[in-house]
A = this chain, B = another copy of it.
Amino acid sequence: MEFDNTQPIYRQIIDNYKKQLIRGELRPGDKIPSQREYAEKARVNPNTVQRAYREMEVMQMVETQRGQGTFITANPEMLTIMKEEMATGVIGHFIKEMKSLGFTISEINHLLAQQIDKTEEGELA
């Protein structure tokens, strides 16, 4: 794992797990790495990992069992909500960036459509 400094590391850890959940790479019941293990691999402080894990527990994404480890608990409804929330974030950020480059809404729509066309062609080729 690599981290930006655009956001706190603990947020990025959480977002990363959210993405894995949304993509189905992690499912309810799965065990995620222990705090220490994660901290070592990602080379961050165990406290930072713990903060991420604790927040995920509060939002009922995971359940920790002392002495056992941490397990995914997110249910389908929660996944839907998470997916929507993350999309809202990504889209909001996109609109903000495009506006800061001086594009109007209609230009944004136009350029997006154009680029999607190109991308799709590229994928079909």
A interface vs B, CB < 8 Å? Answer: 2-6, 19, 22-24, 58, 83, 86-88, 90-92, 94-95, 97-98, 100-103, 105, 108-109, 111-113, 115-116, 119-120
Contact = CB atoms under 8 A, between A and B. Distances in A.
Given A2-B5, A4-B5, A94-B94, A103 B87 contact: yes
B119 A101 contact: no
Given A94-B90, A95-B119, A101 B2 contact: no
Contacts of A111: 87, 91
A102 to B, nearest CB: 6
A39 B90 CA distance: 31
B83 A90 contact: no
Nearest to A84: B111
